[in-house]
Amino acid sequence: MELLSSNKSQGGVQGVYRHASEVTGTDMTFSAFVPEHAPGAKLPVLWFLSGLTCTHANVTEKGEYRAACARHGVILVAPDTSPRGPDVPDDEAYDFGQGAGFYLDATEAPWAARFRMRSYVEQELPALVGAEFPADMGRQGITGHSMGGHGALTIGLRHPERFRSVSAFSPIAAPSRVPWGEKALGGYLGADRGAWRAYDAVALIEDGARLPELLVDTGAGDPFLDTQLKPELLEAACSRAGIALTQRLQPGYDHSYYFVSTFLGDHVAWHAERLKA
């Protein structure tokens, strides 16, 4: 693991790191904020998954989470959104290819060899974080924004035994039913829609996946609200399944990090309450 940058902030350390990933066959970059803590202490971990076109840098530079993480003693880890590099397949569109990994393991050529973000986020990166940071891997939460909100919900629903808390900002709640998701899932996984269901939060809930509760914030002024996000589908699925969903439409807010940064501290506190030892 190579340290790319290190900055003191809120009494802790904000680092950016690079490592050679066996899962993707590329170098991968991620950021981690570690609050000030007593020697030998182990801190809970909150994962933040970013959205389309983003890298680790978007939330790291714009998220305004460090004060809350320092106050509550929570490590925040932000991975990249896809493998990158000249040997990695790409697409001219912003919503497919590099920067748009959708937190899945692709099965279609030419994407299958490199686009394995599900395995990277679920297996390889947690093993690295657990080995290299003062992280209590028995206390994990996960959140994310947009495509990353989709990732947080689906990963959390597939691993309820691992994550004590799951939240999201403006998630693509039912990607099988919206243009962003249909393009990505069809391109990476092929035409069999049955294979898509493992990467669709609403479908996972319909198929029996359960979490005790969810927190979701979405901007009421989000231009993608009706066409790509469809929070009403998540609300209906949670209602039928008996999942306690707190879904807040925030008046006047859009899809940007002005919105995310406003409420990310609230989410850190919400996760911290559920990640207590």
Bridge partner list, 43: 135
Q: Report how far residue 224's alpha carbon sits from residue 222's, in angstroms, rounded to the nearest whole number.
A: 5
* pLDDT tens digits for range 34-48: 999 999 999 999 999
The pLDDT confidence band at residue 85, using thresholds 50, 70 and 90, is very high
Find the mean pLDDT for residues 77-95. Answer: 97
205 in Cβ contact with 241 (< 8 Å): yes
Which CATH number do you get for residue 118?
3.40.50.1820
Residues sharing a CB contact under 8 Å with residue 72, sequence separation 6 or more, in sequence order: 268, 269, 272
| Inter-CA distances, 36 with 33, 69, 83, 178, Å | 10, 10, 31, 42
The pLDDT confidence band at residue 223, using thresholds 50, 70 and 90, is very high
Residues sharing a CB contact under 8 Å with residue 112, sequence separation 6 or more, in sequence order: 105, 106
DSSP-derived 3-state class of residue 33? strand
Q: Report how far residue 232's alpha carbon sits from residue 213's, in angstroms, rounded to the nearest whole number.
A: 16
Query: Average per-residue pLDDT in the chain?
Result: 98
Looking up tokens 């899809």 gives 255
Q: What is the token pair recorded at 13?
A: 């350390």
> For 54, left (φ over 0), alpha (ψ -120 to 50), or beta?
beta
Find the mean pLDDT for residues 177-187. Answer: 98
Domain boundaries, position 22:
1-274
Q: Where in the sequence numbering do the catalytic residues fall?
A: 146, 222, 255
Question: Residue 277: is its pLDDT beyond 90?
Answer: no
**H-run or E-run covering 175:** none
Q: How many domains does the chain have?
A: 1
Position 245 scores a pLDDT of: 98
**In the 8-state DSSP scheme, what is residue 70?**
H
144 in Cβ contact with 48 (< 8 Å): yes
The pLDDT confidence band at residue 53, using thresholds 50, 70 and 90, is very high
The pLDDT confidence band at residue 145, using thresholds 50, 70 and 90, is very high
Residues sharing a CB contact under 8 Å with residue 11, sequence separation 6 or more, in sequence order: 35, 36, 70
pTM of the predicted model, to two decimals? 0.97
